[in-house]
Structure 1
Amino acid sequence: MKKLFFLSASLFIILSFLLTGCDKFPFHEEKDKVTTKPMSGQLLADWITLHLKLIRSTTGVGTPGLSRHFAYSSVALYESIVGSNKQYKSLGGQLKGLTTLPASPESKDVCWPASANAALADMLRAFYVNTPGGTARIDSLETAYVQKLSTAGYSQASITAGETYGKEVAQAILEYAKTDGFATVHPPYVPPVGDGLWEKTPPAFAAPAVPYLGSNRTFVEGSITQILPTAPIPFSTDPSSGFYAMVKEVYDASAQLTAEQKTMANFWDDVPNGKYYTGPGHFAAILRQVITDKKLSLLESAVAYAKMGISVNDAFIYCFQVKYKHNLIRPITYIHKYMNQPTWTSTINTPNHPEYPSAHSSLCMAAATALSEALGSHISFTDHTYDDLGFEPRYYKNFEAAAQEAGISRFYGGIHYKASVNAGLLVGKKSAQLVTNRLQFRK
């Protein structure tokens, strides 16, 4: 009798282990019907991992374009699974211009992870079609997840239903993306000329980047008047002026940077040069880590991802409206021309767009504010984003602490005044707050 009880108990434990989902499977199962079970956010974490690899293999696409990829992919993911829980609400009719979305499947036999898998795969295929090896990588991960879903007990019919819906959602979001103004052909931009205005900067002396980005459609209704920081300090070359003091602060700091400050500047460089993931990618990597560490569900991970992606996209647009309104001179130009230091160089390269406000500060604080709202403001983490580049992991007490460091890193890097950093942080926070206040994810 004891042996029979032992065998029964053992079989029960093994069955429970298989149904609850161990590390072998990318999602957590329950004992009820497989098509209605909660889904693990590890699926999103794995797709973020691939997205970051694709960024490293992609050339010719700047940070604004790559942040847009994250934003629309995050919306597609959320819409592909929002029908799995009646307590959540579609973003259709809430996002500006998003009026056409496929109807949620009527059948209850839908594998929602398959829908998410297909939606993310189609979004990345569209965005990285010209990336060497990109399509093969995307196909491989998509196929691997389909196989895992089948192995976990989902029926082929439910997987097919999920895939069909996910692809329909992705196509609708891709059509929506075409109307945001990013692909609009504008006339050549001629920057204004005058004292205190932006000029091309060394070493590349590249043309101004995305000068018309500020005219793109934001995801949520809002006005630049709700986001605008105060105007920058009036330009002056007088050594007793506030402007001169602001520039000299950058110059003096560059001459006495500590090893920690140099590390900070390089850790948050985030330029898409085959090594870094961009600022939006850096925070996506942070979210990936939190998803795994906290074992978040797929739906709560998707909500956080969407809030972050949308907030960063809108913060970028508002930031560049302000940049090209003021066209403020960069530190390196001022130091060369007005401080008689023609050989001075910054720790990291100056981006090819105007100074005020700091775009990196804007997008990082937008991401941090959105993640804080979605997941909590007291989540601490150790950032392993660039372990493979030889950087030591960096600890942060919360998301906003990371964004604050990302902002000040631009000052230590010699490419921004402190006033521009602070203005950027404000733009990012206000942009994210506008997004989270306007969008309703739960009914």
Structure 2
Amino acid sequence: MSRFICLLSLCGLLVACGEDVNPNYQEEVADPEYFHRSVKQLTDVIVHDIFSPPVASRIYSYSSIAGYEALAAGDPNLRSLAGQIPHLEPAPAPPAQTEIAYPLAAVVAHLKVGKSLIFSEDRMDEFREQLLAEIRKVGMPAEVFDASVAYGDAVADHVIAWYDGDMYKQTRTFPKYSITDDESKWQPTPPDYMDGIEPSWMKIRPFALDSANQFQPPPPTEYSLDPNSQWMKEVMEVYEVYTGVSKEESAERQAIAQFWDCNPYVSHTVGHLMFATKKITPGGHWVNIAAIAARKADADFARTVETYAMTSMAMFDAFISCWDEKYRSKLVRPETFINRHIDQEWRPLLQTPPFPEHTSGHSVVSRACAVVLTDLYGDNFAFDDDSEEEYDLPTRSYPSFLAASEEAALSRLYGGIHYRPAIDYGVTQGEAVGNHLLQKVETRAVITEERPR
């Protein structure tokens, strides 16, 4: 009875202070759309600022981990990543005897870390102000709102201090890729002949991998000018990928290649006019697939945040593993070899990305993300992928995440930018990375039949 009287007194005080309190504010602030929208805002800024695929994976992962850790501090069903990621220390403890709306803290932590990793900070600030103003209308007490925002900021500061030690800053000063006279090695490609992107990315600290070369794939096929060699057969498969197929099959292959292009910076030259097209990165595409899956499954706030965290960690480790091999084998791209030895006028359907060929980043990253999403949502989770609609490409449908990852991998052959081994070995490499993350990291405090292991 005394507790009831105290609650009435508190409500009376809040009303007297002009604050309209909604008794269901904790449930309403746990709307997963708040987090979905925050991630989409981050994606839009990543596209605007033109981050390379590996760097974009770093932005997605640390911001998603911040949101996850802030939420896990108040959710007994979620297990902190601290200790599971060996170099991550526990987040600050929530303030004692202070009510926290942990979903709000998660959104705040995600946005603050995301802002710290991009260039267009004003875009993130404006979004945060608008979203927090919207959440205020949920009707939680001012002290709960303020304490939740403060806790989210504290977790974000903890993650920012942590990521500062991942070698990213140091690699900004490392030497660029050195071009050699060896024709089997990568050379910059048209139209911009850009330097090799992130030649030291294998030195970035991973989350679950023991080392960057833990899942080192087989080397590429031996380079050869012999017309009967295996190498030449693989080159000709790229060169003739649209030869001898029907118009319908050719159109479908082109549609697949363009759908999975995911090149954040495609340059165009029309006469004397030069301009660029910006698009999502491969990781950004899979972040959007994670959103599609969570929404289709009607995932609650916790499962939504868990989905983004696991997917982004998988892509982050996948890029480290892939880039380790890229700058070990340093293999020449099909465009360079074909122009030198087969057809000087040939151009691939897609613009060749500025880094070595082996293995295929799409193959590694897509498979790692698909493995994690399959663990979360099941083997036969069919979905419609509308990730590219805003870039004027139609929705494609898939019977499973693994099927989508297989098409993403094959798209690189259809796009004319990868040989077959880079695709096949890359899928195997990505599967190993994804499964390793699942073995090393457990997000659920209690494993249920919903997510068997």
- 1:277 correspondence with 2:280: yes
Contact 1:63 1:279 in 2 (8 A): yes
1:391 corresponds to which residue? 393
Give the gaps of 5 or more residues in structure 2: 1-21, 266-276, 446-453
Q: Given the alignment, which residue of 156, 175, 192 partners 2:161?
A: 175
- 1:67 correspondence with 2:57: yes
What is the Cα deviation at residue 225 of structure 1? 5.3
Overall identity of the aligned pairs, in %: 27
2:305 corresponds to which residue? 302
1:350 corresponds to which residue? 352
Contact 2:206 2:212 in 1 (8 A): no
CA distance in structure 1 between the aligned counterparts of 2:386 and 2:331, rounded to whole angstroms: 35
CA distance in structure 2 between the aligned counterparts of 1:43 and 1:33, rounded to whole angstroms: 16
CA distance in structure 2 between the aligned counterparts of 1:79 and 1:321, rounded to whole angstroms: 29
What is the Cα deviation at residue 424 of structure 1? 1.4
Q: Given the alignment, which residue of 216, 219, 233 partners 1:245?
A: 233
What is the Cα deviation at residue 38 of structure 1? 8.4
What is the Cα deviation at residue 101 of structure 1? 2.5
2:45 corresponds to which residue? 54
1:45 corresponds to which residue? 36
CA distance in structure 2 between the aligned counterparts of 1:295 and 1:105, rounded to whole angstroms: 31
- 1:208 correspondence with 2:196: yes
What is the Cα deviation at residue 107 of structure 1? 3.2
RMSD value over aligned CA atoms?
A: 2.0
What is the Cα deviation at residue 348 of structure 1? 0.5
Cα deviation, 1:306-363, whole Å, max 9, x if unaligned, reads 1111111011011111111111111111112222x11110001111111110012111
Cα deviation, 1:71-119, whole Å, max 9, x if unaligned, reads 1111101001002221321111221321252123333611112201211
Runs of 4+ in 1 over 6 A off after TM superposition: none
Contact 1:44 1:302 in 2 (8 A): yes
Cα deviation, 1:11-62, whole Å, max 9, x if unaligned, reads xxxxxxxxxxxxxxxxxxxx98644788232122111221222123213x21
CA distance in structure 1 between the aligned counterparts of 2:117 and 2:66, rounded to whole angstroms: 13
Q: Which amino acid aligns with 2:428?
A: L
1:117 corresponds to which residue? 107
CA distance in structure 2 between the aligned counterparts of 1:107 and 1:75, rounded to whole angstroms: 25
- 1:315 correspondence with 2:318: yes
Contact 2:101 2:148 in 1 (8 A): yes
* Aligned partner of residue 240 in structure 2, secondary structure: helix
What is the Cα deviation at residue 371 of structure 1? 1.2
The count of corresponding residues between Structure 1 and Structure 2 is 407
Q: Which amino acid aligns with 1:239?
A: P
1:217 corresponds to which residue? 205
Q: Which amino acid aligns with 1:269?
A: D
* Aligned partner of residue 426 in structure 2, secondary structure: helix
CA distance in structure 1 between the aligned counterparts of 2:181 and 2:436, rounded to whole angstroms: 34
CA distance in structure 1 between the aligned counterparts of 2:87 and 2:252, rounded to whole angstroms: 45
Contact 2:174 2:200 in 1 (8 A): yes
2:187 corresponds to which residue? 199
Contact 2:209 2:433 in 1 (8 A): no
Contact 2:112 2:156 in 1 (8 A): yes
1:361-400 equivalent positions in 2, closer than 5 A: 361-400=363-402
1:287 corresponds to which residue? 290
2:19 corresponds to which residue? none
Q: Which amino acid aligns with 2:71?
A: I
Q: Given the alignment, which residue of 325, 328, 335 partners 2:331?
A: 328
Give the gaps of 5 or more residues in structure 1: 1-30
Cα deviation, 1:257-316, whole Å, max 9, x if unaligned, reads 711111111111101135311111111112222223322111111111111111110110
Contact 2:294 2:307 in 1 (8 A): no
* Aligned partner of residue 382 in structure 1, secondary structure: strand
Contact 1:366 1:429 in 2 (8 A): yes
TM-score scaled by structure 2? 0.85
What is the Cα deviation at residue 140 of structure 1? 3.6
- 1:138 correspondence with 2:140: no
Q: Which amino acid aligns with 2:142?
A: Q
Q: Which amino acid aligns with 1:387?
A: E
* Aligned partner of residue 384 in structure 2, secondary structure: strand
What is the Cα deviation at residue 188 of structure 1? 3.5
Cα deviation, 1:123-145, whole Å, max 9, x if unaligned, reads 222122x32xx52x423432343
1:162 corresponds to which residue? 148
Q: Which amino acid aligns with 2:207?
A: F
Tell me: CA distance 1:47–1:37, structure 2 relative to 1, closer, same or farther (3 Å): closer
2:116 corresponds to which residue? 126
Contact 1:112 1:162 in 2 (8 A): yes
- 1:414 correspondence with 2:404: no
1:81-96 equivalent positions in 2, closer than 5 A: 81-96=71-86
